[in-house]
């Protein structure tokens, strides 16, 4: 299995999930044990006080051994070893359980030596009242204890339910935790599925563009050869048609190259060939080429210095600069105006590209750098393209460690700013 960033994140997340679940279960178990021990201590202390009062009433000495025998978490046998009355026992049980704040339903039975049977006493609910019906009672749940004469047994039928109810906050925390974990797992599966779709899309784009380039190259070679023939040069219509074919083929070739560059950037296959060059000269070259292609455009370029040397990929730098200028021209008014300016701040050298277009609606500004995103425009002819130009620009800036932002001007048009850190300027 290839360990890329996503696989490492998923693996670490899986370990974190296992660790969190284990810790939560351990904490829940510890809380349950603590609650059980606390309730057991309360029961023991309350029953011990009941025995003490019975011995006090009878004027007898307390036994050295503990008279309380815990048969189960919810069942106790208390050896009084002295006579006592059922009503007094019930009164003492109620008062002592109230003292220790033990709000649990219970029922008790007293051993009758005459009949050699456990005589059922009563069922007392948590509020201190007797049971209104016999549904909750369980007279057959009390059994004799051999070797004892004066004793009673007490049972707590809903003790385990009381444990769960007292740990309600822990159950809520556990439920919230499992909900978060379910959302995380679902998100991971969705991310993996999206990653697979993205890889299929990249493979499709790569295969499609490569398949297009072969016949396109043949068309360009044949067209360039044909346009130079005497018969074609002497026929104005055929010459015009062939030039249109060549022009549109070159334009299609540029689109294919852009798509290939974007596909490479997405798959981290794009390598930067960094060399030292003067960005002022590159900006001037992009300006001159844009003016040749769009003679009706007015492009101005100002810089406080004639030389800003930077170590970067000159090829991709020229592409993103020309791409920004061309976009400014395409989306400007009938008389496009583009202003290129180099300014310095305390930390950066900013390259600003300002146009006189109609601007971009505020709700679309944050999406213009998204891949395949195109700003919807009304009452304007459709601009050709795939919506990958500015995505490519931002990707190249990120690979160089530069910052890029876009904002509407106060009057008209937009300004795109590329911030190059001064530490990158040589």
Q: What is the pLDDT of residues 344-376, one digit of tens each?
A: 888 889 999 999 888 888 888 888 888 777 776
Strand positions, DSSP E, 125-179: 151-155
Distance of CA 82 to the CA centre of its chain: 68
State the angle between helix axes of 5-58 and 86-99 in degrees (0 to 180), rounded to the nearest 10. Answer: 140
How many other C-beta atoms are found inside a 10 Å radius of the C-beta of residue 175? 10
Q: Tell me if 370 sits within 8 A of 360, measured CB to CB.
A: no
Q: What is the rounded CA–CA span in Å between residue 81 and residue 65?
A: 12
- Kindly report the number of other CB atoms within 10 A of residue 269's CB atom: 12
Hey, where are the domains in the chain? 7-166, 169-266, 274-424
| CATH code of the domain made up of 274-424 | 3.30.565.10
Strands 414-421 and 348-355 turn out to be antiparallel
H/E stretch holding 400: helix 389-400
Length of the chain in residues, anyone? Answer: 426
- Lowest average pLDDT, out of 31-40, 102-111, 136-145, 384-393, goes to 384-393
What are the tens digits of pLDDT across the range 61-71? 888 888 899 88
pLDDT computed for residue 191 by the predictor: 79
Q: Structure pTM?
A: 0.48
Report CA 186 to chain centroid distance, whole Å.
Answer: 10
Q: What is the mean pLDDT of residues 101-117?
A: 85
Q: What percent of the chain has pLDDT over 90?
A: 15
CA angle 28, 30, 31 (to 5 degrees): 65
Indicate if the pLDDT at residue 161 is higher than 90.
no
Dihedral through CA 12, CA 14, CA 16, CA 18, nearest 10?
A: -150
Q: What is the DSSP string of 274-326?
A: EEEEEHHHHHHHHHHHHHHH-TT-EEEEEES-S--EEEEEHHHHHHHHHHHHH
Q: Compute the distance between CA of residue 342 and CA of residue 324 in angstroms, rounded to an integer.
A: 15
The 10 Å Cβ neighbour count of residue 396 is 24
CA angle 179, 183, 188 (to 5 degrees): 145
Here the tokens at position 195 are: 């990653």
Q: Is the pLDDT of residue 129 over 60?
A: no
Cα(220)–Cα(243) distance, rounded to whole angstroms?
10
pLDDT: is 259 or 328 the higher one?
328
């Amino acid at each position: 299995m290839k360990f890329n960033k996503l696989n490492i994140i998923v693996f670490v997340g899986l370990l974190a999930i296992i660790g969190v679940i284990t810790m939560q279960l351990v904490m829940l178990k510890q809380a349950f044990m603590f609650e059980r021990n606390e309730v057991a201590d309360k029961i023991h202390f309350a029953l011990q006080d009941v025995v003490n009062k019975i011995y006090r009433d009878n004027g007898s000495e307390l036994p050295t051994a503990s008279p309380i025998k815990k048969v189960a978490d919810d069942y106790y046998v208390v050896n009084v070893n002295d006579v006592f009355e059922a009503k007094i026992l019930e009164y003492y049980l109620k008062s002592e359980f109230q003292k220790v704040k033990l709000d649990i339903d219970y029922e008790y039975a007293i051993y009758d030596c005459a009949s050699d049977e456990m005589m059922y006493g009563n069922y007392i609910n948590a509020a201190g009242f007797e049971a209104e019906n016999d549904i909750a009672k369980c007279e057959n749940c009390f059994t004799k204890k051999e070797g004892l004469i004066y004793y009673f047994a007490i049972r707590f039928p809903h003790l385990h339910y009381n444990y769960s109810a007292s740990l309600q906050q822990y159950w809520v925390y556990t439920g919230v935790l499992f909900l978060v974990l379910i959302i995380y797992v679902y998100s991971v599966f969705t991310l993996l599925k999206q990653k697979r779709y993205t890889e299929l899309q990249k493979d499709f784009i790569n295969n499609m563009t490569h398949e297009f380039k072969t016949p396109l190259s043949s068309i360009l070679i044949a067209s360039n050869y044909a346009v130079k023939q005497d018969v074609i040069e002497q026929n104005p219509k055929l010459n015009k048609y062939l030039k249109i074919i060549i022009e549109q083929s070159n334009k299609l070739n540029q689109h294919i190259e852009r798509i290939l560059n974007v596909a490479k950037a997405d798959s981290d296959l794009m390598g930067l060939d960094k060399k030292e060059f003067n960005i002022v000269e590159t900006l001037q070259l992009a300006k001159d080429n844009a003016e040749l292609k769009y003679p009706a455009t007015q492009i101005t370029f100002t810089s406080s210095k004639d030389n800003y040397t930077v170590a970067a990929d000159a090829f991709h730098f020229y592409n993103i600069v020309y791409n920004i200028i061309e976009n400014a021209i395409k989306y400007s008014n009938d008389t496009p105006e583009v202003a290129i300016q180099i300014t310095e701040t305390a930390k950066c050298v900013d390259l600003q590209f300002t146009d006189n277009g109609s601007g971009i609606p505020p709700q679309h500004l944050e999406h213009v750098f998204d891949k395949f995103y195109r700003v919807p425009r009304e009452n304007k002819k459709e601009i050709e393209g795939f919506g990958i130009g500015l995505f490519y620009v931002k990707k190249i800036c990120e690979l160089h460690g530069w910052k890029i932002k876009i904002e509407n001007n106060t009057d008209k048009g937009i300004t795109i700013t590329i911030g190059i850190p001064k530490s990158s300027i040589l």
